[in-house]
Chain A
Amino acid sequence: MTTRRPQPQAQDLAWVLEPLLELPGVQHAVIATGDGLLEGSSPGLDRAAAERVAAMTATLHASARAFTTAFTDDESPRLQQTVVESEQGFAIVVPAGQNTSLAVFAAPDTQLGNIAYQMQVQVAALARAMSAPAREPDAAGRP
């Protein structure tokens, strides 16, 4: 494969997710790249589940942005957060620096505002610590 900088392992990101998981009602948390790959996840999700969440985090975030573009004609709106409410609870996605998003799942009877605030705090910390660098043209791409 090509040269790649050491990526943080899933467990290295525990410090970002832990304060969120301590909040009442929060069940899962995932850090995903913009193109839908897993960067880190909370222990309650097995790897397959966390990878599915990462893919759909990218889908939801990009759809929410295209949805806003469709209404406003703004080609690159900056999203604050995307919230999906269901009988199962709340799924919340917050952009977390370059090409990265933070996703949390919380119980239905939860304090949404509190979680959203804490996510913004953690995102600020995460953005300082890491972002997913864009892929550079690699040897595999050359004919």
Chain B
Amino acid sequence: MDSVPSPEPATAPAAEPRPGQVRYLPATGQTLMKLIITGPFGVGKTTLIRTLSEIPTLHTEEVMTRSSVGHDDLKGLPEKATTTVAVDFGRLTVPGDLVLYLFGTPGQERFFPLWQDIARGALGALVMADTRRLADSFPVMDMVEEEGLPYAVAVNRFPGAPAHSDDTLRKHLDLAPQTPLVQCDARNRRDSIGTLIALAEHVLTRLPEDD
């Protein structure tokens, strides 16, 4: 982790606050990084953030109504009853004092107008995919590329979904050689941390060196 950028300005003053002085953020040597967790409808974005977050997560999940039949395809998602309509939020600190702030987007196209606002200030994106509908991830990958965000792809292995080798998946997703691809189970913490570490390392290699 040689390329960790200098800490946020909020961490700069090391002096103790005077009595009565309000300290808005603690002085730490931590590096803060905003990441977005994105991908198509029902791919496991909310689940991944719930699995990873060390703080109680914030969600904007709503019950899926009968009006969504014909709009939101539940093929292969028998348990799904709610859907994110605004944003998910969680936080994960990884070794090296790197604090990852996780912002999850909604998956359906009708919520895409929000996408750029959620992505503002993000240093990278995790694009999630399901092997049963890989192509559903393309519109999201397009948006990430248009924003110029470095990204990694996390293939969420759903029970019963066909398994493929990394090479096959990379070919079908048409990934650039430097784009990380990680297969995971979004319900499994160790797996899910692996996806974020792959993304964070990829992001850090793209940041300019200090000095």
A residues with CB within 8 A of B: 1-2, 4-5, 7, 33-39, 51-52, 54-56, 58-60, 62-63, 65-66, 69-70, 99, 132-135, 137-138, 140-143
B contact residues around A35 at 8 Å (CB): 62-65, 67-68, 72, 83, 85
Residue of A nearest to B58 (CB): A66
Option from B61, B74, B106 in Cβ contact (under 8 Å) with A140: B74
Range of interface residues on B (Cβ < 8 Å):
35 or more
- Known contacts: A52-B113, A141-B75. The answer to whether A134 contacts B63 by CB under 8 A is yes
Option from A4, A70, A99, A141 in Cβ contact (under 8 Å) with B74: A141
Q: Are B67 and A37 in contact, with the CB atoms below 8 A?
A: yes
B residues with CB within 8 A of A: 58-81, 83, 85-87, 106, 108, 110-111, 113-114, 160
Q: Are A132 and B60 in contact, with the CB atoms below 8 A?
A: no
Residue of B nearest to A133 (CB): B66
Q: Are B69 and A141 in contact, with the CB atoms below 8 A?
A: no
B contact residues around A52 at 8 Å (CB): 110, 113
Q: Are B86 and A63 in contact, with the CB atoms below 8 A?
A: yes
Q: Are B69 and A33 in contact, with the CB atoms below 8 A?
A: no
Q: Are A135 and B58 in contact, with the CB atoms below 8 A?
A: no
CA distance A54 to B63 in the complex (A): 15
Q: Are A34 and B78 in contact, with the CB atoms below 8 A?
A: no
Residue of B nearest to A37 (CB): B67
B contact residues around A62 at 8 Å (CB): 60-62, 85-86
CA distance A62 to B68 in the complex (A): 17
- Known contacts: A34-B85, A35-B83, A55-B110. The answer to whether A63 contacts B60 by CB under 8 A is yes
Q: Are A7 and B67 in contact, with the CB atoms below 8 A?
A: yes
Option from B64, B78, B86, B87 in Cβ contact (under 8 Å) with A134: B64
Instruction: Jot down 13 A-B pairs with beta carbons below 8 A, ordered by A.
Output: A4-B66, A34-B85, A38-B67, A52-B110, A52-B113, A59-B86, A66-B58, A134-B63, A135-B66, A135-B81, A138-B74, A140-B75, A141-B76
Q: With both chains docked as a complex, state the minimum distance between the C-beta of A86 and any C-beta of chain B, in angstroms.
A: 15
Q: Are A1 and B70 in contact, with the CB atoms below 8 A?
A: yes
Q: Which 7 A-B pairs give the minimum distances between C-beta atoms?
A: A62-B60, A132-B65, A141-B78, A34-B62, A55-B110, A37-B67, A33-B65
Q: With both chains docked as a complex, state the minimum distance between the C-beta of B178 and any C-beta of chain A, in angstroms.
A: 34
CA distance A57 to B176 in the complex (A): 38
B contact residues around A59 at 8 Å (CB): 60, 85-86, 106, 111, 114
